[in-house]
């Protein structure tokens, strides 16, 4: 469990002490399962709660939450034996005492360190290089509040409760890949996310805080590449070696390891490399999208080819999302208006893992690869097959996005002729710096966006259910490695991840490496249009988010807002819908204040996801297509107004010995009708060679899609036929 909160008290008055006591008790009461041990650790002017290792020596205390992956390297630097420092807290305290606070930069892990110097009355809060262990903080002249989630801070009487509409509206949608926007303000006024590789220096004497960085990936672009003789192949080999080590140190000393598997290149790479070092089990999600994109079968096939276990859980997100209570709880649980489908599906996946496999403590994930290796490039420019032209278009797009930083919006004429002016001159007259290495603009932009979207959601989804998510692709060593790659090689390495794809040919099958690209959404199955229409048509939900319909809002122009919704309902556009839903969700997020764990219990509204058995592939296919409302490609060829017949030597049989029904073919039992498929069994019993398919359905009061998958198989297997059927298969 990675939930934690705490405070550094600047004022020691009785009233402030009472507030802080109330704060701690209120968090425990509101979030009981997050803090099963109601224990407060107090050190002079600091108090904290959560799963912290602690170590004290000579007026210094250190509290550690997280994981370290390179203990032996640190021990070697310190010249000590691991037997002398059994805990991570003790090891890190020795490192700081010997080398200073900045020495934490050699730690490879994901962590929060709290270092207390009692004599100086200073407290230092330190996070990891990539900000994976997220820390939120709020401070005023009396107190510094901090926690792993915003909702914990909002419990304190002194913490601001207002939405920061300006930052919230400015923060771009995650699909805006090359945004220049960068801010560590959260959606609430005064509540900030600690930047990556940063230290909060809290001084109780001066009643102030300062923030410094011990490692800055945005400045790692000033390299001299002229003497670098490496080829693209050399870089690829070095890259895979680094990735292999990154995975190895994250699964070290565990008898069995676990990983999420999506069927894509990134998670498949993690699994294939990780399986070399220890037994590996994987978990996958089945939704309409994964099924239609064929990633469901890819996960099954890859697990078989690599001889690893793969557990897949069915999450029919297209159905369960249509619930306004669930929608609100989802926004509150995630503490974000970014309504990523991934955040809900991964929350439910971790829920299923915890229920089915309670011994799982940590999982690996491929998140972060797209942001470093060019996986989002094809979202910026279309891949037309011409490598040279593709890269030129992409490089031009990067420079144009950077122009937003160096040319202000008021300089219209300068903007209009930006492509006719030397870039060096534009930079010289700008107050903003740009990266010397253009690829690092992509990296820095996408990593910052991911921090507030995919990573934000993924950390919450796993932590809530007691799992540690490990991110091999976000090993901080990759930043230096990628920044040092000569720009002349970028085209060969980064357009849709050849840096990863090509060297993996040795260990991954072709169906993973060359999986066909899929569109951003599948039009026939993009349920978001219908869902957003459903949500914005709900007056109660709209009023909860933005107050009474006829009441003015201090930020939102309601007449224009509702007019836009009406237009979208008539002429849907997903990008416009995203803007509308962002505003609606910000309004709902404002109601997070005062909500407790019970009021955010997503799981109580949803059945536990089912683990799917693929041993009987045909039955599984029928079941999944029914549950996922997959349209039968041949359904238009079946005339529902025609009677249905059993073919010659085919029948529905009942075995009185075991009370089972069977479909027979050629006088042999072909398919058992399992007990749970009652509607299909009743439909078969009802067939009389006279009534049409539709009449049978009407008599039984069942929908066609319930039996569609079964009927398709029966027709293909030539057990049933439709009178004068249009299809050639019968």
Measured in whole angstroms, the distance separating CA 64 from the mean position of its chain's CA atoms is: 25
Given CATH 1.10.3470, say whether it is the number of domain 233-329+358-455+471-523: no
Given CATH 3.90.930, say whether it is the number of domain 631-722: yes
Radius of gyration of the chain (CA): 29
Ranges of residues in the chain with a pLDDT under 70 are 1, 82-85, 217-222, 409, 517-521, 632-637, 724-730
Residues 6+ apart with CB under 8 A from 50: 1, 2, 3, 4, 5, 6, 35, 65, 148
Residues 6+ apart with CB under 8 A from 424: none
pLDDT for 517 equals 65
Which of 220, 219, 198, 200 minimizes the C-alpha distance to 208?
200
pLDDT in tens, 421-450: 888 888 888 877 777 778 888 999 999 999
User: What DSSP letter does each residue of 275-296 carry, written as one string?
Assistant: TTTS-EEEEEEE-HHHHHTTHH
For residue 417, the SS3 value is coil
| CATH superfamily of the 4-215 domain | Aminohydrolase, N-terminal nucleophile (Ntn) domain (3.60.20.10)
pLDDT for 730 equals 29
pLDDT for 187 equals 97
Q: Please state, in angstroms and as integers, the Cα–Cα distance from residue 592 to each residue in 125, 337, 461, following that order.
A: 26, 11, 17
How far is Cα 465 from Cα 351, in angstroms, rounded to an integer?
A: 6
pLDDT for 14 equals 77
Return the domain boundaries, the chain: 4-215, 233-329+358-455+471-523, 527-596, 631-722
Which of 187, 182, 108 minimizes the C-alpha distance to 149?
187
Q: What are phi and psi of 559, to 5 degrees?
A: -55, -45
pLDDT for 725 equals 40
How far is Cα 173 from Cα 489, in angstroms, rounded to an integer?
A: 30
294's tokens: 């064929």
């Amino acid at each position: 469990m990675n939930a934690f909160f705490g405070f550094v008290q600047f004022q020691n008055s009785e009233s402030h002490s009472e507030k802080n006591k109330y704060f701690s008790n209120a968090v425990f009461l509101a979030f009981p399962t997050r803090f099963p041990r109601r224990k407060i650790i107090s050190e002079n002017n600091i108090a904290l709660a959560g799963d912290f290792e602690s170590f004290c020596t000579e007026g210094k205390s250190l509290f550690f939450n997280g994981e370290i992956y390179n203990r032996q390297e640190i021990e070697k630097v310190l010249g000590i034996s691991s037997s002398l420092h059994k805990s991570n807290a003790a090891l890190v305290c020795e490192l700081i005492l010997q080398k200073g606070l900045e020495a934490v930069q050699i730690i490879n892990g994901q962590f929060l360190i709290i270092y207390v110097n009692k004599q100086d009355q200073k407290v230092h809060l330190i996070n990891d290089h990539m900000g994976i262990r997220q820390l939120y903080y709020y401070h005023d002249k009396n107190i510094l509040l901090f926690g792993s989630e915003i909702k914990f801070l909002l419990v304190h009487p002194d913490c601001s409760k207002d939405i920061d509409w300006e930052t919230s509206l400015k923060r771009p949608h995650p699909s805006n890949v090359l945004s220049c926007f960068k801010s560590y303000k959260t959606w609430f006024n005064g509540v900030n996310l600690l930047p990556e590789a940063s230290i909060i220096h809290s001084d109780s004497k001066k009643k102030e805080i300062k923030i410094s960085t011990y490692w800055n990936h945005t400045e790692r672009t000033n390299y001299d590449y002229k003497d670098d003789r490496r080829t693209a192949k050399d870089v690829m080999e070095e890259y895979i070696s680094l990735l292999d080590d990154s995975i190895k140190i994250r699964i070290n000393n565990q008898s069995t390891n676990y990983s999420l598997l999506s069927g894509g290149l990134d998670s498949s790479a993690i699994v294939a490399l990780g399986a070399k070092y220890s037994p590996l089990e994987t978990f996958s999600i089945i939704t309409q999208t994964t099924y239609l994109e064929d990633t469901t079968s890819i996960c099954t096939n890859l697990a078989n080819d690599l001889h690893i276990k793969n557990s897949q859980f069915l999450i029919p997100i297209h159905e369960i999302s249509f619930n306004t209570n669930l929608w609100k709880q989802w926004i509150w649980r995630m503490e974000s208006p970014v309504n990523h489908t991934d955040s809900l599906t991964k929350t439910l996946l971790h829920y299923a893992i915890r229920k089915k496999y309670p011994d799982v403590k940590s999982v690996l994930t491929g998140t972060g690869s797209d942001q470093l290796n060019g996986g989002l490039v094809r979202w910026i420019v279309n891949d037309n097959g011409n490598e040279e032209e593709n890269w030129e278009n992409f490089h031009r797009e990067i420079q144009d996005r950077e122009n937003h930083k160096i040319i202000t919006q008021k300089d219209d004429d300068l903007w209009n002729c930006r492509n006719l002016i030397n870039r060096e001159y534009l930079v010289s007259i700008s107050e903003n710096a740009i990266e010397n290495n253009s690829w690092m603009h992509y990296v820095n932009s996408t990593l910052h966006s991911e921090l507030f979207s995919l990573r934000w959601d993924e950390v919450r989804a796993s932590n809530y259910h007691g799992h540690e998510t490990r991110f091999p692709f976000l090993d901080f060593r990759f930043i230096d490695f990628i920044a040092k790659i000569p720009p002349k090689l970028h085209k060969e390495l980064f357009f849709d991840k050849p840096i990863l794809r090509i060297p993996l040919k040795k260990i991954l099958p072709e169906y993973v490496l060359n999986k066909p690209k899929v569109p951003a959404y599948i039009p026939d199955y993009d349920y978001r249009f219908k869902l957003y229409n459903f949500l914005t048509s709900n007056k109660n939900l709209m009023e909860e988010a933005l107050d009474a319909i006829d009441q003015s809002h201090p930020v939102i122009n309601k007449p224009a807002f509702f007019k836009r919704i009406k237009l979208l309902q008539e002429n849907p556009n997903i990008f416009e819908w995203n803007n509308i839903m962002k505003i609606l969700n910000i309004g709902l997020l404002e109601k997070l204040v005062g909500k407790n764990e019970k009021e955010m219990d997503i799981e109580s509204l949803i059945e536990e996801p089912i683990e799917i058995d693929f041993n009987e592939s045909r039955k599984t296919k029928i079941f999944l297509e029914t549950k996922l409302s997959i349209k039968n490609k041949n359904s238009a060829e079946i005339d529902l107004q025609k009677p249905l017949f059993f073919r010659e030597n085919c029948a529905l049989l009942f075995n009185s010995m075991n009370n089972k029904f069977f479909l027979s073919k050629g006088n042999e039992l072909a398919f058992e009708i399992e007990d749970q498929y009652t509607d299909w069994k009743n439909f078969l019993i009802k067939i009389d060679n006279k009534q049409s398919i539709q009449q049978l359905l009407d008599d039984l009061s069942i929908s066609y899609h319930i039996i569609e998958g079964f009927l398709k198989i029966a027709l293909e297997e030539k057990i049933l036929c439709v009178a004068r059927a249009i299809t050639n298969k019968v």
